[in-house]
């Protein structure tokens, strides 16, 4: 197995980042520094990065329905509840692909595949993420256009989205929102700029992986066929760039 694939399969980082570690002389195989890209790892080889042992585990892919009230991280300085407080022990080694804020719920992909995580979250690849979003009011046409054209939610950061109205009355509007960015609290900040509060936000799809079939707090393995389709989807996006 090529060394960058071995490192990525350990969940330590992506293949691209692994190549950077190799070129920087931070990777050792059996105690010897390796700086050659494409170096082949054998079964009994010991691989370390900065003297930390790296092991290529079997790649695992799961989808998880995050309830509200939990943050998407393994630890928190403020001692807030995290998804790892409710994940069963056998899934504690998996890493989340992206994040959902404390007040949001829905789909999170969990995996130890560092390369897939990199591709699903890197801003240049622009992977679609779909949300159901309920806001407290009815937007005007010019406000809806701003969602499409882009809103400066922070200095130098322009947020935009694709949207469709699913339900609407004077008191509230239910949107389907599709993001291709990963800005912090992006949807909430866009609507706050327009003068509306997000009442409920749930992610229902990440690329081709859907929340369907899960209850809150439940985790389920993603089928190999879906992972194959996901990787094909990512390759197609990269080819179109």
Which among 101, 103, 141, 169 is annotated as catalytic? 101
Cα–Cα distance, 52 to 165 (Å, whole number): 50
Cα–Cα distance, 161 to 129 (Å, whole number): 10
Q: What token pair was written down for 190?
A: 């866009």
Pairing of strands 105-111, 198-206: parallel
Cα–Cα distance, 60 to 170 (Å, whole number): 46
Question: Buried b / exposed e across 111-144, counting CB within 10 Å, b at 16+?
Answer: bbbbbbbbbbbeeeeebebbbbbbbebebeeebe
3-state DSSP call for residue 12?
coil
DSSP string for residues in 70-90: -BSSS--TT---BGGGTS-GG
Please say if 101 is a catalytic residue.
Answer: yes
Task: Give burial (CB, 10 Å; 0-12/13-18/19+) of 173.
Answer: buried
Catalytic positions, written as ranges: 101
């Amino acid at each position: 197995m090529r060394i960058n694939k071995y490192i990525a399969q350990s969940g330590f980082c992506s293949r691209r980042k692994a190549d950077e570690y190799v070129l920087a002389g931070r990777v050792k195989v059996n105690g010897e520094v390796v700086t050659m890209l494409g170096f082949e790892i054998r079964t009994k080889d010991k691989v370390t990065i900065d003297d930390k042992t790296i092991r290529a585990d079997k790649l695992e892919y799961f989808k998880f329905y995050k309830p509200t009230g939990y943050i998407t991280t393994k630890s928190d300085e403020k001692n807030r509840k995290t998804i790892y407080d409710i994940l069963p022990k056998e899934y504690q080694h998996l890493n989340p692909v992206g994040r959902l804020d404390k007040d949001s719920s829905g789909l999170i992909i969990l995996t130890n595949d560092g390369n897939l995580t990199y591709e699903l979250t890197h801003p240049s690849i622009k992977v679609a993420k779909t949300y159901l979003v309920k806001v407290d009011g009815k937007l005007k046409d010019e406000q809806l256009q701003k969602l499409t054209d882009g809103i400066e939610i922070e200095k130098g950061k322009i947020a935009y989205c694709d949207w469709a109205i699913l339900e609407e009355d004077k008191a509230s509007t239910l949107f389907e929102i599709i993001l291709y960015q990963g800005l912090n609290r992006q949807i909430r900040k866009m609507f706050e700029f327009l003068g509306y509060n997000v009442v409920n936000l749930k992610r229902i799809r990440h690329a081709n992986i859907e929340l369907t079939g899960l209850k809150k707090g439940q985790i389920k393995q993603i089928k190999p066929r879906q992972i194959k389709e996901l990787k094909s989807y990512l390759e197609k996006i990269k080819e179109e760039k």
